[in-house]
């Protein structure tokens, strides 16, 4: 208990945090800050202290999920926002030795978690084969489960997700008659959008049986099942060639040992003048490792890459990186919208699963939101082209096409 008190007294400067301990005593840390909501929480069990000391993120998460840590003032978003606002990534100190050790530790850990084909399907099912009803409760109408694009921070979620699709598709320079592959197609929204806006034929592939059923149903209902098809297949087993490939939120599930395999396979699936747009969560710093909470409860086998890891994996693959864009706060805004919708649907989610699941889900969304707000996470959009002459010389075509797509 004394160690936790000592840590909090040093870590919390901005914002006010009040802790009630298992013996009923209280301690207050920090000073009020109008930008941060005050938070009061209670630790009900001394075992929670040991769990937090062993692994802070997992210890807090599981205590919160089990009700052994409760929040009386504010909510889990406020607690995590207060904590991380006191240690923003860009305000940290560069420590070369510590960074090298962290990088080595991350590489060792992920060398042991290669995503083989069978394991990949099981990992995908863990998250994406949850009840379809759950995702209906907090996603936009098109069920886009990836970073939205906020041309205005005040935009609603549906507008931001529609703008995301336009932003991505504009970079692909799709012409009528082209064939497009959507790797990790989710519930089919991007594939259906591409066909509706460009006339291209699209094949979406996924390892989620639940997503496959929904995507196929949507294509049937839209009357385009002959032009927009969906298959349950691993990217490694794909054959044929495509004029364009879009990959949104897929690379995070590939696994570090397969980064080069994934990029090389996508290159080989493109025609000689083919173009790919890859949208992935990324780290603004160097290689790291997946925290235990995320690996255990949310995305087993997942890993968020640094830009250096992506570029190193791309070495000697004969295609061009033709554009890189870094989206900084867009996912923070997206996750906040998802979190608010989740909280508003608490009763429905508890009825669907139970209160422990609801707490886990809110911890996941809040933790991700603060990681993009105060941590090192960003989104990368990376464009690849097999031929240097395929795309225009400047980025003007992207702006013009995005304007057209957005109407």
Distance (Å) of CA 166 to CA 3, 148, 172, 196, 230:
50, 11, 10, 12, 21
Rounded mean pLDDT of 386-395?
97
Element (H, E) at 18: strand 15-20
- Count CA within 13 A, CB hemisphere, residue 320: 13
Closest CA to 56 of 339, 364, 289, 291: 291
- pLDDT, tens digit (0-9, with 9 covering 90-100), for 240-293: 999 999 999 999 999 999 999 999 999 999 999 999 999 999 999 999 989 999
Strand order in the sheet with 377-385: 228-232, 201-206, 179-183, 242-248, 270-283, 377-385, 320-327
Confidence check: pLDDT of 114 > 90: no
Nearest-Å Rg of the Cα atoms of the chain is: 22
What's the pLDDT at 96? 63
What's the pLDDT at 297? 94
**Residue 4 pLDDT grade (very low, low, confident, very high; cuts 50, 70, 90):** confident
Confidence check: pLDDT of 349 > 90: yes
Confidence check: pLDDT of 403 > 90: yes
Copy the structure tokens of residue 220: 């049937």
What's the pLDDT at 360? 97
* Distance, CA of 228 to CA of 216 (rounded, Å): 9
Most confident of 49-53, 228-232, 301-305: 228-232
Closest CA to 194 of 158, 230, 160, 170: 170
User: Which of 36-50, 91-105, 358-372 is predicted least confidently?
Assistant: 91-105
What's the pLDDT at 130? 72
Kindly give, in sequence order, each residue whose CB lies less than 8 Å from that of residue 308, ignoring residues fewer than 6 positions away. Answer: 286, 287
Instruction: Give the orientation angle of helix 56-66 with respect to helix 355-373, to 10 degrees.
Output: 150
Residue 216: count of CB within 10 angstroms of its CB: 18
* Distance, CA of 188 to CA of 114 (rounded, Å): 27
**Residue 132 pLDDT grade (very low, low, confident, very high; cuts 50, 70, 90):** confident
What's the pLDDT at 126? 53
What's the pLDDT at 213? 95
What's the pLDDT at 92? 86
User: Which of 21-25, 95-99, 190-194, 281-285 is predicted least confidently?
Assistant: 95-99
> Are the CB atoms for 204 and 187 separated by under 8 Å?
no
* Distance, CA of 103 to CA of 97 (rounded, Å): 10
User: Which of 195-199, 201-205, 289-293, 322-326 is predicted least confidently?
Assistant: 289-293
* Distance, CA of 362 to CA of 217 (rounded, Å): 29
Domains of the chain (ranges; CATH) run 3-98 (no CATH), 120-406 (3.40.50.150)
Confidence check: pLDDT of 99 > 70: no
User: Which of 92-96, 193-197, 206-210, 362-366 is predicted least confidently?
Assistant: 92-96
Mean pLDDT, rounded, of the chain: 93
Find the DSSP H helices in 12-156: 47-54, 56-66, 76-85, 96-111, 117-128, 132-138
Rounded mean pLDDT of 196-218?
96
> Are the CB atoms for 136 and 282 separated by under 8 Å?
no
Rounded mean pLDDT of 345-363?
97
Rounded mean pLDDT of 187-193?
98
Confidence check: pLDDT of 140 > 80: yes
Confidence check: pLDDT of 83 > 70: yes
* Distance, CA of 281 to CA of 407 (rounded, Å): 28
At residue 389, the 3 state secondary structure works out as coil
Confidence check: pLDDT of 301 > 60: yes
Q: What are phi and psi of 207, to 5 degrees?
A: -110, 5
Confidence check: pLDDT of 127 > 90: no
Cβ neighbourhood burial of 250 (10 Å; 0-12, 13-18, 19+): buried
């Amino acid at each position: 208990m004394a160690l936790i008190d000592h840590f909090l007294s040093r870590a919390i400067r901005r914002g006010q945090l009040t802790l009630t301990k298992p013996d009923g005593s209280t301690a207050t840390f920090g000073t009020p800050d109008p930008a941060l909501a005050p938070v009061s929480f209670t630790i009900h069990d001394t075992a929670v202290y040991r769990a937090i000391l062993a692994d802070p993120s997992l210890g807090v998460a599981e205590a919160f999920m089990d009700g052994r840590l409760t929040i009386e003032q504010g909510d889990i978003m406020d607690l995590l926002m207060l904590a991380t606002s006191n240690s923003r990534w860009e305000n940290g100190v560069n420590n070369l030795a510590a960074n090298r050790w962290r990088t080595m530790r991350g590489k060792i850990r992920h060398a042991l978690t290669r995503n083989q084909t069978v394991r990949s399907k099981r990992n995908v099912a863990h998250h994406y084969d949850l009840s379809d009803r759950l995702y209906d409760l907090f996603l936009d109408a098109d069920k886009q489960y990836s970073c939205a694009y906020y041309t205005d921070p005040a935009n609603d979620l549906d507008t931001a997700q529609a703008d995301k699709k336009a932003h991505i598709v504009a970079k692909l320079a799709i012409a009528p008659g082209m064939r497009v592959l959507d790797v990790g197609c989710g519930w089919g929204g991007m594939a259906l959008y591409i066909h509706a806006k460009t006339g291209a034929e699209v094949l979406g592939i996924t390892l989620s049986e639940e997503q496959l059923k929904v995507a196929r149903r949507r294509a049937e209902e839209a009357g385009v099942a002959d032009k927009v098809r969906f298959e349950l297949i691993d990217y490694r087993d794909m054959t044929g060639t495509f004029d364009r490939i879009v990959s949104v939120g897929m690379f995070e599930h590939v696994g570090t040992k397969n980064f080069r395999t994934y990029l090389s396979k996508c290159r080989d699936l493109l025609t000689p003048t083919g173009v790919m747009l890859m949208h992935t969560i990324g780290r603004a710093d160097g290689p790291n490792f997946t925290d235990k909470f995320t690996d255990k409860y949310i995305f087993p086998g997942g890993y968020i890459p640094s830009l250096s890891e992506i570029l190193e994996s791309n070495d000697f693959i004969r295609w061009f990186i033709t554009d890189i864009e870094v989206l900084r706060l867009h996912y923070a805004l997206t996750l906040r919208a998802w979190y608010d919708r989740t909280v508003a649907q608490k009763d429905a989610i508890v009825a669907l699963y139970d209160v422990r699941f609801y707490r886990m889900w809110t911890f996941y969304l809040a933790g991700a939101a603060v990681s993009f707000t105060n941590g090192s996470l960003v989104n990368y959009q990376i464009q690849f082209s097999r031929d240097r002459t395929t795309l225009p010389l400047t980025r003007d075509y992207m702006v013009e096409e995005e304007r057209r797509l957005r109407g």
